[in-house]
Chain A
Amino acid sequence: EIVLTQSPGTLSLSPGERATLSCRASQSVSSSYLAWYQQKPGQAPRLLIYGASSRATGIPDRFSGSGSGTDFTLTISRLEPEDFAVYYCQQYGSSLMYTFGQGTKLEIK
């Protein structure tokens, strides 16, 4: 089973700053099957990025994804107040199972 490790656990930044979130896999992951979600308190997760770099419908272009193999990155170019939330990466792999990273909390500094 592929394990996804996200870092940092918590990221403290100010609105307007750039955020870089990391997701590292224990084995190589097909880029086609790496996604990112945003979750705000009391809400369901929302799909941001799929296929490592494709934005989901309605997602602002300040969100971008990149990476391949075992290292993937979610970048938020200029933080808006509504971007402070928890972010999860997720993959689907050869084990025919989905796995999620443990999450990165993006908080206001």
Chain B
Amino acid sequence: QVQLVESGGGLVKPGGSLRLSCAASGFTFSDYYMSWIRQAPGKGLEWVSYISSSSSYTNYADSVKGRFTISRDNAKNSLYLQMNSLRAEDTAVYYCARGLFVGGSLSHFDYWGQGTLVTVSS
């Protein structure tokens, strides 16, 4: 069965860095686009970034562009999010999710991990 397991969250000071990981299993990881999506405490969902199956394409939400970098290692079935220059407003649960295509375009997410909490506070 498909499993996505995030790790790497924790408490970090403003301006600090953190690297999140997502271990995938139960499917051919190298066939799928993957995304990071976050949810601030008590708030809604915010898409953060996606990466294509071969790492050729990436895209970011404006709120994290220039500070976060998404990457993947298909040999290790792993997705990563390097987060630099962290701000209090980056505090959230970060989910990795598998993206699906419909009609040749990205469409929706069919599997999500359970999330890892990132807290940015002094």
Contact = CB atoms under 8 A, between A and B. Distances in A.
Interface of A: 32-33, 35, 37, 39, 43-47, 50-51, 56, 88, 90, 92, 96-103
B108 A47 contact: yes
Contacts of B95: 44-45
Interface string B89-122: 0000001000010110111111111110000000
A100 B112 CA distance: 15
User: Which 10 pairs show the lowest CB-CB distances between chains A and B?
Assistant: A35-B108, A98-B47, A44-B112, A100-B45, A50-B108, A103-B44, A32-B102, A102-B44, A92-B106, A33-B107
Contact of A33 (B37, B102, B110, B112): B102
Given A44-B115, A45-B112, A98-B35, A92 B105 contact: yes
B11 interface: no
Interface in B8-63: 35, 37, 44-47, 50, 59, 61
Interface of B: 35, 37, 44-47, 50, 59, 61, 95, 100, 102-103, 105-115
Main secondary structure of the interface of B (DSSP, over half): strand
Contacts of B112: 44-46
13 contacts: A35-B107, A39-B45, A47-B111, A50-B100, A50-B102, A90-B108, A92-B106, A96-B59, A97-B47, A98-B106, A99-B47, A100-B45, A103-B44
B108 A97 contact: no
A53 B79 CA distance: 30
A101 B44 contact: yes
Contacts of A101: 44
Contacts of B113: 44
A76 B3 CA distance: 28
Contact of A50 (B37, B107, B115): B107
Interface centre among A47, A50, A92 (most CB of B within 10 A): A92
B44 A33 contact: no
Contact of A100 (B47, B50, B103): B47
